Structure 1
Amino acid sequence: MTATDPLLRALAHPVRLRIVSLVWNVPLSAAELSRELGISHALASQHLRRLDAAGLVELVEVREKRGGRERRYRAVHGSPLSDQRHEGARLIAEAMAHNLRDRAGRRAPGAPGVTTDAELWVAPEVWTDFRHRLAALFAELHDAAQAPHAPGTVGIGATAMVFPLAEPSGTDTGTGTRAAPGTATGSARSTGATRPTDQDTAPEERP
């Protein structure tokens, strides 16, 4: 995947990342998205067209409304962000960081949550098992998504980007060999190293 790939260009924008998440399970129109995102109807429509052209959302419903036609879109599953290759990692990270800052500012006062940051070295099998379990947890959360502000629901902000780090050229990996430039090892980074903090059990660390 290159930096000019339509899929990458569509995803590397904080608003479009939010749209894909919002319409993961529930189809929404440009009008509904404009209200949720606080942007104009025209801009919401433009973002939807970009996502549609990249194959990230699809039209699933057209309904009559006040003499007009409302087109509602839902995310196309099977296009996960984890498929992005190295060339686009920084662009995606910038869009995710923007959304993380925004969501942190909208956090419910005193609400429990989990905060973690890590740069550490583990055995390859530990990394593989963790990656699969984390992906499954996020898939479970996405699949449980309902319409924004649906009765009986709570809004959740979740951002994760976890990946192997490349060893610098000539670095001893501890196995008696030196990693070649760009060689990925069994280390992982999730946006230093602190253990995950479940703020249900550690309220003193809440912001």
Structure 2
Amino acid sequence: MTDTDPVLRALAHPLRLRMLSLMWPGPMSAAELARELDVSHALASQHLRRLNTVGLVELAEERTRRGGRERRYRTVRGTPLSDQHHGAPMLAETMAHTLRERAGRRLAAGEGVTVDAELWVDPETWHDIRRRLTELAVELHEAAQPPHAPGTIPLGVTMMAFPLQHTTPPDPPEHH
């Protein structure tokens, strides 16, 4: 894993993916992230530094709070989640972990959409679907509010859609 892209390595941790999602609608400090994620301030700070080092978050503001300086960070727009070819298995494992955790918190009576598919479509259809999925992801992110904002509900969204390698089906067994 030493030659793996440092950005991908930073993305390949469930806590850091959650942090990026939480900071999308607005800046948060390590203390705020620690409270929201129910982790120690030190752990939140460590992960926030990693995200900052690889350029996935940026310092949004510094303010005085309780006699100290509070640094609040926000997710950099356009972070590179969508086209990670070389690290797709590592990112998929992190997303699977996140999906399992979120599925355990699913609202029992909450409406949702679940899809799992391996399909064959023509390239034009795939291009159009990929564009529309990207537009939906952007729309969801643009509508995101800070955690616990009045009038909002928490959502879990995990999505990967990509072309598969072309494989040749095995020959059927011969019958004598």
Residues 1:144 and 2:143 aligned together? yes
Residues 1:111 and 2:113 aligned together? no
Instruction: Report the CA distance shift for 1:129/1:3 in structure 2 as closer, same or farther (over 3 A).
Output: farther
RMSD: 1.3
**2: distance between equivalents of 1:120 and 1:55?**
36
* Letter of the structure 1 residue corresponding to residue 44 of structure 2: A
Q: CA deviation at 1:95?
A: 0.5
- Number of equivalenced pairs: 168
Residues 1:83 and 2:83 aligned together? yes
* Letter of the structure 2 residue corresponding to residue 66 of structure 1: R
Runs of 4+ in 1 over 4 A off after TM superposition: none
**Paired residues for 1:28-43 under 5 Å:** 28-43=28-43
Q: Is the 8 A contact 2:34 2:41 kept in 1?
A: yes
Q: Per-residue displacement from partner, 1:39-59 (whole Å, max 9, x unpaired)?
A: 100000000100001100000
**1: distance between equivalents of 2:80 and 2:129?**
17
Q: Per-residue displacement from partner, 1:56-100 (whole Å, max 9, x unpaired)?
A: 000011111111111100011122301212x21011001100110
**1: distance between equivalents of 2:79 and 2:108?**
34
**1: distance between equivalents of 2:103 and 2:40?**
23
* Letter of the structure 1 residue corresponding to residue 163 of structure 2: P
**Residue equivalent to 1:156:** 155
Task: State the SS of the aligned residue for 2:115.
Answer: strand
Q: CA deviation at 1:3?
A: 4.7
**Residue equivalent to 2:24:** 24
**Residue equivalent to 2:53:** 53
Q: Which runs of 5+ in 2 are unaligned?
A: 170-176
**2: distance between equivalents of 1:162 and 1:3?**
25
TM-score norm. by structure 1 comes to: 0.79
Task: State the SS of the aligned residue for 2:58.
Answer: strand
Q: CA deviation at 1:25?
A: 2.1
**2: distance between equivalents of 1:147 and 1:14?**
19
* Letter of the structure 1 residue corresponding to residue 159 of structure 2: A
**2: distance between equivalents of 1:166 and 1:8?**
22
Q: CA deviation at 1:109?
A: 1.7
**2: distance between equivalents of 1:72 and 1:79?**
18
Task: State the SS of the aligned residue for 1:162.
Answer: coil
Percent identity at matched positions?
Answer: 66
Q: Is the 8 A contact 1:27 1:74 kept in 2?
A: yes
TM-score norm. by structure 2 comes to: 0.92
**Residue equivalent to 1:128:** 127
**Residue equivalent to 1:70:** 70
Q: Is the 8 A contact 2:4 2:87 kept in 1?
A: no
